[in-house]
Amino acid sequence: MGGAFLAAAVLARLGGRIGLPTIPLFILAGILLGPHTPGYTLLSNPHDLEMLSALGLVLLLFYLGLEFHMDDLKTGGRKMAIAGGTYLVLNVGAGLIFGFALGWGTSEALVLAGVLGISSSAIVTKILVDLGRIGNPETRPILGIIVVEDIFLALYLAALQPILSGADSLSAALVDGGKAFGFLLLLALAARFGTKLIGKLMSTKDDELLVISFLGVAVFVAGVSEMFGVADAIGAFMVGLMLGSTSSGDRILKLVHPLRDAFGAIFFFAFGLSIDPGDLPSVLWPVVAAVVLTLAMNIAAGLAAAKVYSFGAQATSNIATTLVARGEFALILATMAAAAGLDERLSPFIAGYVLLLAVLAPLAAGRSHWLARILPGSRKKDDHQDQEQIPVSV
pLDDT, one tens digit per residue, over 104-134 is 998 899 999 999 999 887 778 778 877 888 7
pLDDT at 386 over 60: no
| Cα–Cα separations (whole angstroms), residue 241 to 67, 235, 237, 372 | 8, 10, 6, 37
Residue 240 CB neighbour total at 10 angstroms: 29
**Alpha helix (H) ranges present in the chain?**
2-16, 22-32, 50-67, 71-74, 77-102, 106-117, 121-130, 139-164, 170-193, 195-202, 207-227, 232-244, 249-273, 284-309, 313-322, 328-339, 346-366, 368-372, 378-393
Half-sphere exposure of 147 (CA within 13 A, CB side): 25
Task: Give dist(CA 91, CA 99) in Å, integer.
Answer: 12
* For residues 190-218, average pLDDT: 88
Question: What phi and psi, each to the nearest 5 degrees, are found at residue 246?
Answer: -90, 170
pLDDT bin (cut points 50, 70, 90) of residue 247 is: confident
Task: Give dist(CA 7, CA 26) in Å, integer.
Answer: 8
User: 181, 203 in Cβ contact below 8 A?
Assistant: no
Element (H, E) at 188: helix 170-193
Which of helix, strand or coil describes residue 194? coil
Phi-psi sector, 206: left (phi>0), alpha (psi -120 to 50), beta? beta
What's the Rg (C-alpha) of the chain?
Answer: 21
* E strand intervals along 4-127: none
Q: What pLDDT was estimated at residue 177?
A: 66
Q: What pLDDT was estimated at residue 150?
A: 72
| Tens of pLDDT, residues 224-245 | 988 887 777 778 878 888 888 8
Read off the DSSP letter of residue 279.
G
Q: What pLDDT was estimated at residue 102?
A: 92
Read off the DSSP letter of residue 359.
H
Per-residue buried b or exposed e for 166-176, using 16+ beta carbons within 10 Å of the residue's own CB: ebeeeeeeeeb
Residue 9 CB neighbour total at 10 angstroms: 15
Task: Give dist(CA 292, CA 344) in Å, integer.
Answer: 23
pLDDT bin (cut points 50, 70, 90) of residue 379 is: low
* For residues 268-287, average pLDDT: 85
Residue 278 CB neighbour total at 10 angstroms: 10
pLDDT bin (cut points 50, 70, 90) of residue 191 is: confident
Q: What pLDDT was estimated at residue 167?
A: 54
For the chain, give the percent of residues with pLDDT over 90: 21
* E strand intervals along the chain: none
| Tens of pLDDT, residues 144-174 | 788 788 778 777 877 787 777 665 555 666 6
Of 29-33, 42-46, 303-307, 362-366, the range with the lowest mean pLDDT is 42-46
Task: Give dist(CA 134, CA 143) in Å, integer.
Answer: 10
Q: What pLDDT was estimated at residue 361?
A: 86
The candidate with the shortest Cα–Cα distance to 272, out of 14, 56, 18, is 56
Of 135-139, 168-172, 198-202, 387-391, the range with the lowest mean pLDDT is 387-391
pLDDT at 54 over 60: yes
* DSSP letters for 76-103: SHHHHHHHHHHHHHHHHHHHHHHHHHHT
Name the residue type at position 261.
D
Task: Give dist(CA 386, CA 50) in Å, integer.
Answer: 58
Task: Give dist(CA 127, CA 133) in Å, integer.
Answer: 8
